[in-house]
Amino acid sequence: MCLGNYLMRKAFIVVSLLYFTVLAIIIIYFVLQNNVETLLSIFFSEEIRFAIVLTLATSITASTLSLILSIPVAYSLANYSFKGKKAIELLTDLPLALPPILLSFALLLFLARNPIVKFLESMGFELLFTSYAIVIALLLYITPEVVKILYSAFSSVDRRYHMVLKTLGYGDFQSFLKVDLPLSAKGIASAFIVALARSIGAFGAILLVSGAIKGKTETLSIAIFLNWQGGNMDAAIAAATVLILISLILFYIFERIKK
């Protein structure tokens, strides 16, 4: 092997190892900050339990809704040619480029000034600064990525399977059920896990619409923020540890699905 190739290979490997070592040190250092007894008592505190339940409930709801919404969008983009397709592709990409806080701010203004929302409020249905607002914000935040993953999954299905099914007398919807859904199952599961992971850790995207209200719209990421702001570092660390645990579980599931 020539010297130039050898040096390049070694240098690149060293950079990779350094990066992941630093990352691992930070996470291990953070976990070591926990005092197990204090951590356990905080885990079972009402505030953290509420945050866990709210985080999981809003994340699962938003991820499920996002999947339901994204399947037809991604399928259309992957299989059909239609007017406005380019515009939809651009619009799905746009939120990926926007800072999450901007999304939250735009949604806050939209909901605050929307006559339908005002009408609902007059009927006693609160939307802003509630878990519903969190679900809506999460839906907007995660859907572009879900569409991207599903688009890739649907695009990889050999279109000749559709031709085979058509010549066996099956229509488009039956073909979708018998071919696309099963053959894209891994992609759909991956999209759901990624959506869940993004939702569970979302902060900027939900901060403004949720109002970050303790005990009402306090998800785990908001609990970290509120407790850090109030100087309660143990509670902040406990909330963060729960987030790490959930993320690791999701990461494990994601890796299993990939295989």
Partner 1 sequence: MIGIYDLEVVRGSFRLKISRLEIKDNEYFVVLGPSGSGKTTLLNTIAGFIRPVKGSIFIDGINVAGLPPEKRGLSYVFQDPLLLPHLSAFGNILLGSHGNVDTALKIAKQLGLDDLLEKYPSQLSRGQQQKVALARALAYNPKALLLDEPLSSLDRVSKEAMIDVLLRLKGKKTVIHVTHDLTEAFMLADRLAIICKGRVLAEGTPDEILHNPPNEKVAKFLGLTNFFKGKARVVGKDKSVVKIDDDVIIHVYGEYRGDVFLTISPSDIFVAKTLDSVTAANKFEGVIAKIVPRGVVDEIRVKVGSSTTFSVYLSKKAVKDLGLKVGNRVVIAFKKSAVIVNKI
Binding status of residue 167 toward partner 1 by CB under 8 A = yes
Binding status of residue 168 toward partner 1 by CB under 8 A = yes
Closer residue to partner 1 in complex, CB, 105/170: 170
Closer residue to partner 1 in complex, CB, 29/173: 173
Report d(CA 193, CA 198) in Å as an integer. Answer: 9
What minimum distance in Å lies between the beta carbon of 182 and partner 1?
5
Which span (1-9, 148-156, 162-170, 246-254) binds partner 1, by CB under 8 A?
Answer: 162-170
User: Hey, what are 120's tokens?
Assistant: 């609902």
Among 6, 27, 38, 182, binds partner 1 (CB under 8 A): 182
How large is the C-alpha radius of gyration of the chain? 22
Binding status of residue 177 toward partner 1 by CB under 8 A = no
Query: Which among 29, 31, 51 has a CA at the least distance from the CA of 39?
Result: 31
Interaction pattern, residues 188-217, with partner 1; x per rule: CB under 8 A: ------------------------------
Binding status of residue 156 toward partner 1 by CB under 8 A = no
User: Hey, what are 227's tokens?
Assistant: 């407790």
Binding status of residue 170 toward partner 1 by CB under 8 A = yes
Which span (89-97, 146-154, 175-183, 197-205) binds partner 1, by CB under 8 A?
Answer: 175-183
Closer residue to partner 1 in complex, CB, 93/158: 158
What is the binding site for partner 1 (CB under 8 A)? 158, 160-161, 163-171, 178-179, 182-183, 185
